[in-house]
Amino acid sequence: MKTTKEPTERELDTFVSQNVDRCQTSLVCAILAQGYEANENNGMPTEHDIANYYVFKCPECGASQNEPFDSEPIDPKNESFATPMHYKCYECQAEFEKEPESEPQEIYEWWLCSDWLLEKLEARGEPVLHSDLGDWWGRTCSGQAISMDSVIKDIYISLHNS
């Protein structure tokens, strides 16, 4: 069995410097504002173009998840679309008859990253904006080094322990 080696701060800093280029928050906010100001389809991206922008919140435990909650027909024998569904939280296992509402993630910063890292971030539920003008990671935390973000650490560990 392979043990998971905890990365050092230096290893994570190097990983970030190799895959995260620069903060472009002002640029991306200006691009998104252009998309909102035009009431016609002008080709500018809007929040609807942000992958993983909306998360589902469990009304019981408050856990966030990027995918809709597990759902199954209440009556498994009746597979019609009219059959009521129930939804189940991955975290606390609470069940609901109504799908929990989704809400937008709060994005504090926009970062230009390598295509490889963007793919990994998007797969882990991080907001990513893809447009003809460029691709950016929407960072949902701020005030600390990127190398301290749990998602960055998780990606690094999965890369070096696979």
Q: Which long-range contacts (CB under 8 A, 24 or more apart) does 114-120 make?
A: 114/18, 114/19, 114/20, 114/21, 116/19, 117/19, 117/20, 117/155, 120/155
> Residue 139: enclosing H or E segment and its boundaries?
strand 134-139
- What pLDDT is recorded for position 10? 97
Model pLDDT, residue 127: 97
Domain-wise residue ranges, the chain:
9-53+106-160, 54-103
pLDDT at 139: 98
pTM of the model: 0.80
Which residues of the chain fall short of a pLDDT of 70? 1-4, 38-41, 66-86, 162
Place of tokens 């999965």: 158
pLDDT at 87: 76
